[in-house]
Chains A and B, each alone.
Chain A
């Protein structure tokens, strides 16, 4: 899932300077799961902002609402009748949600309250580890199910760099070398020949905003 962590309070406080009436919109899916932007975090952040602004002698009206997902227009609809009375919107969703919200209400400033931090697995409550960079060209089949783009500090496709050090990465001895892990996994599975396959360098296609349409589906305008 997408994980995020809340921005430092001062940064949020700074963004909201000058606004007297703000709506904080939580998102009930990924960021709720990773304990960053669901109902509870909306309430906590609002209390913090409310107290800080009161103490600063600059009170604010800050209200909260958490919708199921900020990346689905059907759920955003619930905000249509509400947003006009606010000077700004704070979004606790991932970067997708923030942009989608800003797109729907172009007349109102939308501010992010969290930093989107990756596609991660949930190891335990509150502990998330990144496993995917969403590069759009998955090589996991060749690499024993270990992603060199995510797990290698340099994102190398074809074997380790000179910094591999007895199983660790040169950036940190606690960071395993992705290619060392890939070698071990493939070797245990008797698939070491896979490591010889050359993967061409990334063509930077991920530098343009990608659109994904699942087979059998069409863009709405194509439907009409």
Chain B
């Protein structure tokens, strides 16, 4: 999943990647920092190394593989993992024995034994600190037997065991005897929510979810039954769609969840199995035996990051996370230095990616005046017209050091390529991907007037883009290129049969040459970008997005359906850490109203929509007079927000002593009800039930926040919180601990045994089965507060007009849950705040900044080049059966009611090819992958005889 991101970063012309280095000092002011780096020796020249791996294969010295958590070895000359960027090896000086073998085998001459630690300086305008996290080391918790019993491992190690690139190649095995386990226990909160043994009072936020995931994948990978038990205190599956995944694990896949903390683990020496001892909820002592134990270790800040923060004068909190303000979640204590990811606080991948974009937004915002300066621009020469030429194909066969050449007879393959139709030139290279070979290819293209190029080497996934750029650099259209993967799909997997591998290489080359002959230049359409942004929704999310876009220099139209800005924040008072939401919101509204680049349209409704990325048009009705208004814009940010659920349960609306948490906050601010003897809160009202499966994420902290407020007003008021799992994730766990310390009573109930509420003159009576007493108790309260979940704003009309997809719950759907959490599937459309899913104000702010950042990336270009790989309809043959219209995941093909034909807008087409594949009349073709172009390969394969 992360691989394409790595490649993108590695190939970006304006990202200067400095690895194996550490920041020493940062001097100067925002806009002009001087950063001093310590560059540690790698002993292999990054620019010369081709990543072929010969050095590592010959290296005789071994070291523990840290990436695989010590479950296997690696060589002293190594690369951390196959997809690492930069794709260059390094020598681990601590385990190197200095034998000199790697220097002898390296054909690229990249080994530098005399490499030393250097110091370098760079000038930058802003900094982003994302030093990441380290799994908690459970060695100090002796009762777990970690380090003593081989079958007790950390969740990080288990992740590696599940990975195809891991120590056991994806086979689930126990470290002790490499046998498949029959049962696995996950122990939650190892190094989290534990002030007793390790001092980490916070919740790591991610472990519940990854434990469920690991259990599900382990069950998939294993060849029989596998009993998976997750020992937990609360299951904290609070993220978007996470609850559904948890329910699937529990109800469909049979993963068991046990509410207990295991206090002792002993190995059964004959079998290597582990005996777990624990007390269940009723206090009964239990024992259970498992083949394997996985410790769900929490997230911690590595010492190196703590030292870095000290050197940079950045404040950290008591758990060593960066100290940030609720309303400025990615700003560190030092101006001009931003942060994101777990260093900011425990969080999952989507949260980290959102914060990364937010940090980029602020870091770039500081420097927006200098945008476009100090960058590398690629200049592409005019294209040569080849329309009247017969195909002249050049074939370049790669040895990849000895990766290919050591198995496949490369000279023979090259000779064979020369005999194929339309081939006028062949060559072979030691490394076809090296910089000097690119120059050589360019020369040969010109010298032999080549008009198609085939490279027989490795995978197009990592290398196609680069070769296409080489073609472009000498005037050839980039789509006149084809690759044959004779390494990953040939020499690597057939290394034991060199002759057959050579034969297969010839087949692959013949197929590639056949396809190359069918290729023709494709034109990449260029469209202009309207630099105005439309932000829909004037709450905290929308206002932050608008302000940040304005700060980046773009015009913004901010549309709000109500008469005033502010959204849901108008009903809220304080965050859990005591920050004043009203003061913040008022400041935000003032900033928006005084921002020159922002036009605010209140009381406005979207009535029409058209266009595509960079060129949208939206129609509105504005104000009470319903004045029509048309706005052209290049991007859209959807920030329509959410509201509090209006309960129909527990006498809400029937008895005035029953209120929601938001209403309770109102009362507490007015100091109403300070003389109450007893207040009960019920969690998960309108969440985690049949009607709304999802968790509303914020209600647990809202209950704890209000409970603490009640206690502050009158410590004698007894507060009961009836809950299913308390989900005070991240640093909010401290408030949960504090609430218990102050005597708030928490009573857990099962999802099939909801509390019973009756109204009497004397108060509200609540009956609930206490989980410790294991019997029903009746509690009287003066006030019942319902933790009513979140509901998205009604966006039925908006989503219909703008064709924006929502999930079952009515929240808008992002393009990719993890990697593109603020992008919507349609390009140029972004998403933030509670329109995306329930979240806290600080999370809303960072997501709004992230959306502004993503929109800025888009708006910063005056024009965009569209991919030429799009689908085209032959309207002569098309029978308008609508199969494409109904099959396209992006809703691009439409039936034009005026011209009465099916149209596919190339600006909107993603080039996935689904419509081309499914069209019953084969009337749709995907450029660059036309039927003939694909079938030519198959024909060429069979023509060679099988």
CB-contact partner of B881 in A32, A41, A66, A124, under 8 A: A32
Known: A28-B877, A28-B879. A39 touches B921 (CB 8 A): yes
B886: A residues at CB distance < 8 A: 124-125
Please tell me if the beta carbons of A32 and B920 are within 8 angstroms of each other in the complex. yes
Known: A32-B881, A33-B879. A38 touches B887 (CB 8 A): no
Which chain A residue has the least Cβ–Cβ distance from B935?
A43
Question: In the bound complex, how far is the Cα of B919 from the Cα of A122, in angstroms?
Answer: 15
The answer, yes or no, to whether A150 is at the interface (CB within 8 Å) is: no
Please tell me if the beta carbons of B921 and A66 are within 8 angstroms of each other in the complex. yes
Known: A124-B886, A125-B886, A125-B887. A33 touches B922 (CB 8 A): no
Query: Distance in Å from the Cβ of A125 to the closest Cβ of chain B?
Result: 5
A35: B residues at CB distance < 8 A: 883, 920
The answer, yes or no, to whether B918 is at the interface (CB within 8 Å) is: yes
Which chain A residue has the least Cβ–Cβ distance from B887?
A125
Question: In the bound complex, how far is the Cα of B142 from the Cα of A115, in angstroms?
Answer: 72
Query: Distance in Å from the Cβ of B277 to the closest Cβ of chain A?
Result: 52
The answer, yes or no, to whether A40 is at the interface (CB within 8 Å) is: yes
B919: A residues at CB distance < 8 A: 40
Contacts A33-B920, A40-B919, A122-B881 known; 20 new A-B pairs at CB < 8 A:
A32-B879, A32-B920, A33-B879, A33-B883, A35-B920, A38-B920, A38-B921, A38-B922, A39-B921, A39-B922, A40-B920, A40-B922, A41-B920, A66-B921, A122-B882, A124-B886, A125-B883, A125-B886, A125-B887, A125-B918
The answer, yes or no, to whether A29 is at the interface (CB within 8 Å) is: yes
A41: B residues at CB distance < 8 A: 920
Question: In the bound complex, how far is the Cα of B879 from the Cα of A38, in angstroms?
Answer: 10
Interface size of A as a range: 10 to 19
Instruction: Give 28 pairs: A residue, B residue, CB < 8 Å, sorted on A.
Output: A28-B877, A28-B879, A29-B879, A32-B879, A32-B881, A32-B920, A32-B921, A33-B879, A33-B881, A33-B883, A33-B920, A35-B883, A35-B920, A38-B879, A38-B920, A38-B921, A38-B922, A39-B920, A39-B921, A40-B919, A40-B922, A41-B920, A66-B921, A122-B881, A122-B882, A125-B883, A125-B887, A125-B918
- B interface residues, tally (CB under 8 Å): 12
Query: Distance in Å from the Cβ of A126 to the closest Cβ of chain B?
Result: 8
| Residue among A32, A39, A124 with most chain B CB within 10 A | A32
A32: B residues at CB distance < 8 A: 879, 881, 920-921
B920: A residues at CB distance < 8 A: 32-33, 35, 38-41
Question: In the bound complex, how far is the Cα of B880 from the Cα of A122, in angstroms?
Answer: 13
B879: A residues at CB distance < 8 A: 28-29, 32-33, 38
A40: B residues at CB distance < 8 A: 919-922
Question: In the bound complex, how far is the Cα of B882 from the Cα of A122, in angstroms?
Answer: 10
Question: In the bound complex, how far is the Cα of B343 from the Cα of A23, in angstroms?
Answer: 69
B922: A residues at CB distance < 8 A: 38-40
Question: In the bound complex, how far is the Cα of B923 from the Cα of A38, in angstroms?
Answer: 11
Question: In the bound complex, how far is the Cα of B920 from the Cα of A38, in angstroms?
Answer: 6
Question: In the bound complex, how far is the Cα of B881 from the Cα of A40, in angstroms?
Answer: 14
B883: A residues at CB distance < 8 A: 33, 35, 125
Question: In the bound complex, how far is the Cα of B919 from the Cα of A38, in angstroms?
Answer: 9
Question: In the bound complex, how far is the Cα of B922 from the Cα of A28, in angstroms?
Answer: 11
What 9 A-B pairs are tightest by C-beta distance, nearest first?
A: A38-B920, A33-B881, A39-B922, A32-B920, A125-B886, A38-B921, A39-B921, A35-B920, A125-B883
Give A residues with C-beta under 8 Å from B.
28-29, 32-33, 35, 38-41, 66, 122, 124-125
B877: A residues at CB distance < 8 A: 28
B882: A residues at CB distance < 8 A: 122
Which chain B residue has the least Cβ–Cβ distance from A125?
B886
Query: Distance in Å from the Cβ of B874 to the closest Cβ of chain A?
Result: 11
List which B869-897 residues lie within 8 A (CB) of chain A: 877, 879, 881-883, 886-887
List which B540-597 residues lie within 8 A (CB) of chain A: none
A39: B residues at CB distance < 8 A: 920-922
Query: Distance in Å from the Cβ of B902 to the closest Cβ of chain A?
Result: 13
B921: A residues at CB distance < 8 A: 28, 32, 38-40, 66
Which chain B residue has the least Cβ–Cβ distance from A66?
B921
Question: In the bound complex, how far is the Cα of B887 from the Cα of A32, in angstroms?
Answer: 16
| Residue among B881, B883, B886, B920 with most chain A CB within 10 A | B920
Query: Distance in Å from the Cβ of B375 to the closest Cβ of chain A?
Result: 46
List which B834-890 residues lie within 8 A (CB) of chain A: 877, 879, 881-883, 886-887
Query: Distance in Å from the Cβ of B685 to the closest Cβ of chain A?
Result: 34
Query: Distance in Å from the Cβ of B836 to the closest Cβ of chain A?
Result: 28
B881: A residues at CB distance < 8 A: 32-33, 122
A66: B residues at CB distance < 8 A: 921
Query: Distance in Å from the Cβ of B817 to the closest Cβ of chain A?
Result: 25
A33: B residues at CB distance < 8 A: 879, 881, 883, 920
Question: In the bound complex, how far is the Cα of B920 from the Cα of A39, in angstroms?
Answer: 6
Query: Distance in Å from the Cβ of A61 to the closest Cβ of chain B?
Result: 17
List which B921-940 residues lie within 8 A (CB) of chain A: 921-922
Question: In the bound complex, how far is the Cα of B918 from the Cα of A38, in angstroms?
Answer: 11
Question: In the bound complex, how far is the Cα of B922 from the Cα of A125, in angstroms?
Answer: 16
Question: In the bound complex, how far is the Cα of B883 from the Cα of A32, in angstroms?
Answer: 10
A122: B residues at CB distance < 8 A: 881-882
Question: In the bound complex, how far is the Cα of B918 from the Cα of A29, in angstroms?
Answer: 16
Which chain B residue has the least Cβ–Cβ distance from A122?
B882
Question: In the bound complex, how far is the Cα of B878 from the Cα of A29, in angstroms?
Answer: 10
Question: In the bound complex, how far is the Cα of B919 from the Cα of A40, in angstroms?
Answer: 8
Query: Distance in Å from the Cβ of A48 to the closest Cβ of chain B?
Result: 16
Query: Distance in Å from the Cβ of A29 to the closest Cβ of chain B?
Result: 6
Question: In the bound complex, how far is the Cα of B921 from the Cα of A35, in angstroms?
Answer: 9
Question: In the bound complex, how far is the Cα of B879 from the Cα of A41, in angstroms?
Answer: 15
A29: B residues at CB distance < 8 A: 879
Question: In the bound complex, how far is the Cα of B275 from the Cα of A176, in angstroms?
Answer: 57
B918: A residues at CB distance < 8 A: 125
